[in-house]
Structure 1
């Protein structure tokens, strides 16, 4: 499972606790640290942030993320 985190102050929180408590492994792609999205994952959770989908010029990683989501 991949969790996409856009900004440092908005992590997986209770969701991470739930996943860990149920033995579900996950990886966090910290986009604010310019992490790369992995090629393979079974499920995708995209956390919120201040950006909008149309702000690809300001947040360059959104192009790749939008393609991944589709």
Structure 2
């Protein structure tokens, strides 16, 4: 059993949105996987993004405010 289910490009279970971490002063591009309530948080930075800066965490979208969503 996989931690994150297989996602094909035609599925509607992936949402994309931008948020801002006030503590670290960083904007994040978020890929929210609705089926398992996980989010992949990719920092939006001027410099190169290193894999250790990408976060994967359990997430409840209803508990947070985000800046915008997009397709």
TM range (shorter): under 0.3
> Structure 2 length normalisation: TM-score?
0.23
More strand, by proportion: 2
> Structure 1 length normalisation: TM-score?
0.23
Higher relative contact order (CA 8 A, sep 6+): 1
